[in-house]
Amino acid sequence: MSGDTAVGQVFNLPVHQGQVANLPHAKPTRTRREFVREACCGFSGLALASLLHDEQLRAASSNPLAAKRPHLPAKAKSIIFLFMAGGPSHVETFDPKPLLNKLNGQRRPEEFGEAKYQFVHEDARLLGTKRTFRKYGESGIEVSDLFPHTATCIDDIAVLRSCHGDSVVHSAAQYELFSGRVVPGFPSMGSWLLYGLGAESQSLPSYVVMPDPKGALEAGQPMYAHGILPAVYQPTMFRPGDRPVLNLDLPKHVTAQQRRRTLQFLRSLNESTLDPADEEFSARINAYDVAFRMQTEAPEVFDLSREPQETLDLYGIGSEPTNDYGRRCLFARKLVENGVRFTCVVSGGGPGNMQWDAHGDIEENHLRKAAETDRPVAGLLKDLKRRGLLDSTLVLWGGEFGRSPDAQSPTGGRDHHNLGFSMWMAGGGIRGGQAVGATDAIGLKAVEKPCHFRDIHTTILHQLGLDQHQLTYPHLGRDERLTFLEGRVIEEIV
Amino acid sequence: MTVLCLVVMSSLVLRAEDADGVRFFREKIEPVLKAQCYSCHSRQADELQGGLRLDFKAAVLRGGDNGPAVVAGKSGESLLIQAIRHEGDLVMPPKKPKLTDKTIADFVKWVEMGAPDPRDREPTDADDSKFEKARKHWAFQPIRRMGTLARPAVLSDEGTGKSAHPTDKRTLIRRVTFDLIGLPPTPEEVEAFVGDESAEAYEKVVDRLLASRHFGEKAAQQWLDVVRFAESEGYEYDRHIPGAWRYRDYVIDSFNKDKPFDRFLVEQIAGDEIEPENRECLTASIFHRLGPVRRNAGNTDIALSRNEVLTERTDILGSAILGLTVGCARCHNHKLEPILQKDYYRLQAYLAATEEHNIVLATSDEQAAWEIETKKGKDEIARVQKQAKDATDAAEKDRLAQLVEELEDRLPAPLPTIPSTHNDFAKRTAIHVLKRGVWENKGEPVQPRPLSVLTADQVAELSPGETQPRSQLAKWLTSPNHPLTARVIANRIWQQHFGVGLVKTANDFGLKGEKPSDPELLDWLAATLIDNGWRLKPLHRLMVLSEAYRGSRGEGRGASGDQNKATVLPSVSPLTPHPSPLLRRLSAEEIRDAMLAVSGRLNPKAGGPSVIVPVDPELVDLLYKPSQWAITADVTEHDRRSVYLIAKRNLRLPFFENLDAPALQTSCARRESSTHPPQALELLNGTLANDLALAFARRLKRECSSDHEKTIDRAFRLALGRAPTANELQRSSEFLHEQPLGEFTLALFNLNEFLYVR
């Protein structure tokens, strides 16, 4: 089955299974077949045989990744999260604050209230920005000179200027951004989506993370992981280069021809020694078929050599400093095209200054990080749009927090800041060309229509047709969900 | 004079009208208080508002943060009246329609009457009907004792020696060997059992396995899952806890020597209190160090961090030992269980003085030398850090920051350490009920006390002067009368052998958890455990010897069974399924260990520091400090059993992650068993599977030279514990004719029959 067929199937087929929330979460290994045998021990062999045949037919739908119908009508079917790790400054990007410049070098006036910081001390001074803002598009939303390319897409973008979270340290804030909890161990957005909707692609992993090859992030891999959900909902971490998926390549000592033969042999032994009517075993045999298909079909998706030069240019591929992020953004488009549910493209990794974590010098850091990402991000939005994919793909941009209006260092750095910052969404039914919510006059606190991470999660789920209260998984006596506490759909943008 | 007169008079009048007043209160006032006020102003409140309670007389008169609620006889001065009239700042009840004029008039009348109120004493848990009902929950009842004679029928060990069909015997020994030691039986062990016609044949196998030192290695894994054992702290730094592996060895040794389970718990909860000089007890106390710990640079919020640590340490007591979701009561009274928020903090109070205490196992000379070396390194780091601070150039700053990291990596390795705990009463954290679980919102202070639902009302909180608080906690938990501890562990052992517990939710025996499928059986097991001096091996033994465990053999899955055998037929109706072990996929660790064993590469060494094996370098680069993944130099160590591989929170082996090993962050009550394509890719293309398939091939070549038939026979016996069928022999022979032996052995590792036990 090609990727395209799979997509078509998912969207044309009616119900595969019931409401997600009512699905049995942990399928006991004891199969219905055993039950049937026990219950019908007095029946004739014929009746049993026909029941077993029926079971055999059902085996296909026992796949936990089978596409599932959403709870509500869906507007989007995929998410691309452009994760600006380390925390980009809101006052340098999407949230102009003229008063901050006026108060540059002064103590923060008391009326703005208090803030807890990781590094900034009480005697800190406010830090104005050197960036200039300009109105873009028909909507006239102001964007700073860091993002001249992204700004040209502003009419497709809904800027959220009043985001806030609960932690001011990286690891906990990153966990909350991904999983709704400030502690590790809970499923990330991508795992929840996969659990709620199943997979579309038969030849690609459905939840992909493309880390920045420059290094790690504070919260580490548990941030992206499936946590309490079964391993089937885990992310696939892409490696740098043309062969991003671990184990997709054959070991060096084997040829593809040989391995095909080995698989045939394996299948024949499995079928001759074990009852193929057994649901569990059929699922496993099926997993090998899909694995083989991934092995042959996925590499085509990762091959960028057949992309036209114009497309490569659009993403800034082949020139610096955009080549790396551009390549990964183009991968993201190709993954979406092939039915991948959730793709996270990380900008930033390794020591803080290699992320958006501009403690030392906001100018140097943000000019560099913006230059790496601005063109690729705009390229991705434009490419999705012209291919008609933007309608069904929700693009989310942002970090685990913003940056402090207060200066951290004499060289003009800013500390972490979780009380008010900007993120944006585009596509996937989001109404662009508007800025929602506001921070106070110096960008310290979200004061108008505050938007917590859980509200962002709720909105994402909503666009994908999932209800935060129905998408649950039992764990230690609680029906856990992505939003932890109740989130709200950001009505202004949907 | 007149005033005094009036007061005296009115009080006389009231006394005379006492009965009427009480009736008025009962009829007009109390129902309104209950319906409109108690949810925020009584013992039942999730979060008491304004410090005010209205559920007994003294509290009403004493009032809350704003002063008395009611001034008897003076409605005009009574805050309660002002609030329901919406006269002042307080508007009650909040977010609800104003009370009717009639009701307000009743309240005014009641206050003017002198606020008669028969509720003389503070209500207790027992007064709460919901709580009282919850107390009757099965799991809170004493374990019913039916005597050892009343052994449930499913546990009958009759007929263990009956000569069963040889095929059944092969299946049985494979299952029981994996279940008890986590490894496949050798072909020799299988043949010995099949050939042993004696009545004790099966019993001999079971006793051999229970005595094997591999028994503890297998049994430990479930406990390690439950206590979310890991050797690093998680979060940003994911610091390795020096010597955390000692806890893993402690658990293995304890299970191997069949340490009584009550003692096992006491040592973990209070080892450093009861025998502070005993290394084993100090090692057991690592239990409190196992949760994730968030550390951060810059402004550290000491009280917040302490609160996070205490939360971890408290929650795990609930999940692992009590089988109750006490963690849910951290922010509010438990919505579903009879666990008050106050109970949660009282449980936490047992740990209020517990602090980290690293015990260095080295001579004073060694320590002194280590300290000198470390100081040298740290001074150098401080020097570079200062340089970095003073540097103005960003690139130079980065370079120096990099250098600091390198110097940190070069600091001397920690000396042998037991990362234990001790009590430090000077630093004792004052424990309060925390509103919404936020450490800054301190409510009522509390002292240690067992959960109310399991305790008589008159039991007081422990004195703050108690010098061994955790010993008191352990004593309560391991009391033979405790209804949960024995049931919870008996159920876990059942789950180990039958795939699913009698209570399916092994960490949740509360109202929300599943009910036991066979309550009598569970109680019989729990009582037997206690009567046997809390020894676990007899419990394992009677389970695997039971008819239930042996009963479902040969039910005819595939070619090997015989469907007409009488034992196949269920003896009970399908609605109350006869317990029998579930078909189960081997755990990630069992699959790796089985491949090692079958290929002849297993290094059976027991104990010692954890092994770090090579993984894909890109994964190591995703660690915040890639140097933490210091691969064990001795490559023979890489072939040790999985339980000895490092459990690192931020880098789990992809092989384990893929095959449903737990995330190491929260307690895992039961392994999931999922099936997905990346598993197939891991087992087909992964380095581990391919390396071991080649090793398996080399072993076969060694043992069978190039005789195809002999090779195939031996390979099947090693991997599956049986000879190939004629059909399999033919297919295999054809395959080997044209394909390398390493592909044949890889196919065997990927067979369903290899990956599952029946």
pLDDT of residue B159: 65
CA distance B548 to chain A (A): 15
- Pick the more confident residue, B555 or B156: B156
| Residues A358-396 pLDDT 10s | 998 999 999 999 999 999 999 999 999 999 999 999 999
**Average pLDDT, integer, range A397-407:** 97
Chain A residue whose CA is closest to B337:
A477
Record: contact B398-A351, CB cut-off 8 A: yes
For A442-464, what is each residue's pLDDT tens digit?
A: 999 999 999 999 999 999 999 99
Give the best-scoring range by mean pLDDT among A18-22, A449-453, B411-415, B549-553.
Answer: A449-453
Mean pLDDT over B101-113 rounds to 92
Q: What is the mean pLDDT of chain A?
A: 85
Question: B16 in contact with A at a CB cutoff of 8 Å?
Answer: no
Mean of the per-residue pLDDT values of chain B: 88
pLDDT bucket at A57, cuts 50 / 70 / 90: very low
Best mean pLDDT range from B558-562, B569-573, B732-736: B732-736
A43 in contact with chain B, both atoms CB, cutoff 8 A:
no
Q: Does residue B743 register a pLDDT over 80? A: yes
Residue % of chain B over a pLDDT of 90: 63
Q: What is the CB neighbour count within 10 angstroms for residue B141?
A: 12
Interface check A262 vs B, CB under 8 A: yes
pTM (two decimals): 0.82
Pick the most confident of A4-18, A131-145, B620-634.
Answer: A131-145
Q: What is the mean pLDDT of residues A75-82?
A: 97
pLDDT of residue A240: 78
Mean pLDDT score, B151-169? 68
On the question of pLDDT at A5 being above 60, the answer is no
User: Residue B514: pLDDT above 70?
Assistant: yes
pLDDT category, B587, cuts 50, 70, 90?
very high
The reported pLDDT for the residue numbered B126 is 54
Window A:241-260, CB contacts with B under 8 Å: 246-251, 253-254, 258-259
B574 with A35: Cβ contact below 8 A: yes
- A357-361, A410-414, B345-349, B415-419: range with lowest mean pLDDT: A410-414
- Alpha carbon distances (Å) from B518 to A93, B145, B610: 63, 15, 40
Residue B467 pLDDT exceeds 90:
yes
Please, which pLDDT band fits residue A34 given cuts at 50, 70 and 90?
very low
pLDDT value for A275: 61
Q: What is the mean pLDDT of the segment spanning A284-306?
A: 84
Whether chain A has a CB inside 8 Å of the CB on B725: the answer is yes
Which whole number is the average pLDDT over B707-721?
A: 96
Do residue B649 and residue A234 have CB atoms under 8 angstroms apart? no
pLDDT over 50 at A31, yes or no: no
pLDDT digits (tens, 9 = 90+) for B18-57: 788 888 898 899 889 988 898 889 877 777 888 899 988 8
Select from B516, B540, B473 the least CA-distant residue to B176: B540
What angle do helix axes B201-211 and B537-545 make, rounded to 10 degrees?
Answer: 150
Q: Which residue has the higher pLDDT, A300 or A462?
A: A462
Model confidence at A62: pLDDT above 70: no
- Which domains does chain A possess? 78-242+306-493 (3.40.720)
**Residue A108 banded pLDDT, cuts 50, 70, 90:** very high
Which of the four pLDDT bands, split at 50, 70 and 90, describes residue B88? confident
Convert the pLDDT of each residue in A166-199 to its tens digit: 999 999 999 999 999 999 999 999 999 999 999 8
Q: Is B332 on the interface with A (CB under 8 A)?
A: no
What average pLDDT score do residues B618-632 get? 89
Mapped to the 3 state alphabet, what secondary structure does chain A carry? Answer: CCHHHHHHHHHHCCCCCCCHHHCCCCCCCCCHHHHHHHHCCCCCHHHHHHHHHHHHHHHHHHCCCCCCCCCCCCCCCEEEEEEECCCCCCCCCCCCCHHHHHCCCCECCHHHCCCCCCCCCCCCEECCCCCCEEEECCCCEEEECCCHHHHCCHHHEEEEEEEECCCCCHHHHHHHHHHCCCCCCCCCHHHHHHHHHCCCCCCCCCEEEECCCCCCCCCCHHHCCCCCCCHHHCCEECCCCCCCCCCCCCCCCCCHHHHHHHHHHHHHHHHHHCCCCCHHHHHHHHHHHHHHHHHHHHHHHHCCCCCCHHHHHHHCCCCCCCHHHHHHHHHHHHHHHCCCCEEEEEECCCCHHHCCCCCCCHHHHHHHHHHHHHHHHHHHHHHHHHCCCHHHEEEEEECCCEEEEEEEECCCEEEEECCCEEEEEECCCCCCCEEECEECCCCCCEEECCEEHHHHHHHHHHHCCCCCCCCEEEECCEEEECCCCCCCCCHHHC
Using a CB-CB cut-off of 8 Å, the residues of chain A touching B508 are 476-477
Residues 55-94 (B) with a CB less than 8 A from some CB of A? none
Whether chain B has a CB inside 8 Å of the CB on A38: the answer is yes
Is the model more confident about A66 or about B320? B320
Average pLDDT over residues A61-87: 89
pLDDT at A396: 98
> Which of B328, B678, B750 lies nearest to residue A477, judging by beta carbons?
B328
Instruction: Looking at mean pLDDT, say which of A280-289, B34-43, B93-102, B413-422 comes out highest.
Output: B413-422
pLDDT score at A252: 87
Q: Element (H or E) spanning B547, and its range? A: helix B547-551
Quick one: pLDDT at residue B528? 94
pLDDT of A53 over the 60 cut: no
Tell me the per-residue pLDDT of B332-387, one tens digit each, with 9 for 90 and over.
Answer: 888 778 898 999 999 999 999 999 999 999 999 999 999 999 999 999 999 998 98
**Chain A contact for B666, CB < 8 A?**
yes
Q: So what's the pLDDT on residue A202?
A: 77
Find how far residue A20's CA is from the centre of its chain.
20
pLDDT higher than 50, residue A23: no
| Interval A141-175: pLDDT, tens | 999 999 999 999 999 999 999 999 999 999 999 99
Question: In this structure, is the dihedral angle defined by the CA atoms of residues B591, B597, B601 and B606, taken in order, positive or negative?
Answer: positive
Looking at residue B638, its amino acid is H
With CB atoms and an 8 Å threshold, state whether B677 touches A294. yes
Q: Which residues of A touch B731 (CB under 8 A)?
A: 265, 268-269, 272
ipTM computed for the complex: 0.79
Helix (H) or strand (E) holding B745: helix B741-750
What residue in A sits closest to B300 (Cα-Cα)? A118
pLDDT for the residue numbered B89: 81
Residues A380/A80, Cβ–Cβ less than 8 Å: yes
A184/B686 CB distance under 8 A:
no
Q: Which residue of A has its CA nearest to B512?
A: A477
Closest Cα in chain B, distance from residue A295 (Å): 8
A 10 A CB-CB count for B204 gives 15
pLDDT band at B562 (very low <50, low <70, confident <90, very high): very low
Instruction: Give the pLDDT confidence score for residue B561 in this predicted structure.
Output: 33
pLDDT tens figures, B657-677: 889 999 899 999 999 888 888
Residue B119 has pLDDT above 60, yes or no: yes
- The whole-angstrom separation of Cα B406 and Cα A3 is 47
Most confident among A41-45, A241-245, A278-282 (mean pLDDT):
A241-245
SS3 B305: helix
